[in-house]
Chains A and B, each alone.
Chain A
Amino acid sequence: SAVISQKPSRDICQRGTSLTIQCQVDSQVTMMFWYRQQPGQSLTLIATANQGSEATYESGFVIDKFPISRPNLTFSTLTVSNMSPEDSSIYLCSVEGTSYNEQFFGPGTRLTVL
């Protein structure tokens, strides 16, 4: 299984600012995923990031709001832009395991927007 770290683990931000979340994996992986987990709601996929190509966003999520970088096979960043209190959530990155259905998750970034 992959070991995944995320930075920061938590942050409190002001409305209108942006935060970049980093995700580091201890092995090379093709696919990385970014999820949002809001209280009482299911894990929601924001986008899938493949190295060397543009991220693929799910319905309801746009690149201007959640730009993603994937510069190599072990690292990705998610930026939450122009934040509002509705963006307060836990953001998780994950990577594909031996199959697309098996995912390994990072510990998450707990974001609070005031």
Chain B
Amino acid sequence: QKEVEQDPGPLSVPEGAIVSLNCTYSNSAFQYFMWYRQYSRKGPELLMYTYSSGNKEDGRFTAQVDKSSKYISLFIRDSQPSDSATYLCASNSGGYQKVTFGTGTKLQVIP
């Protein structure tokens, strides 16, 4: 079983839709949860970074962590064509522990 699992998609939505991207993880020691966005032929860029359970909002993006169910979500409001990318969730247990990435979900926002 992979430590971080993601549906690879692709996920296609119309412009303006609310997007929900999800991951599950299996390692109970994970405390830090990250979302990266990767445009085609580019390196990943850090989008959101949360610690433990709860929500974190940044503009149109909201990251949500439910440690009881080991579930990580990223919500994108008023999605734009420029949001079309692959979204990677990632996690680690803190300190200098290796960051474990999901396989990524490819999102396409259609104008």
Instruction: Decide yes or no whether A53 CB sits under 8 A from chain B.
Output: no
Contact of B44 among A40, A41, A58, A105 (CB under 8 A): A105
Tally of contact residues, B, Cβ under 8 A: 27
* List of A residues within 8 angstroms of B36 by Cβ: 105
Return the CB mask of A90-106 against B: 1 if under 8 Å, else 0.
Answer: 00101001001111111
Return the CB mask of B86-111 against A: 1 if under 8 Å, else 0.
Answer: 00101010111111111110000000
Count of A-B residue pairs with CB < 8 Å = 55
Shortest distance between the CB of B87 and any CB in chain A (Å) = 13
Contact of B42 among A100, A101, A108 (CB under 8 A): A108
Q: Complex Cα distance A104/B42, Å?
A: 12
Contact of B46 among A4, A100, A102, A107 (CB under 8 A): A102
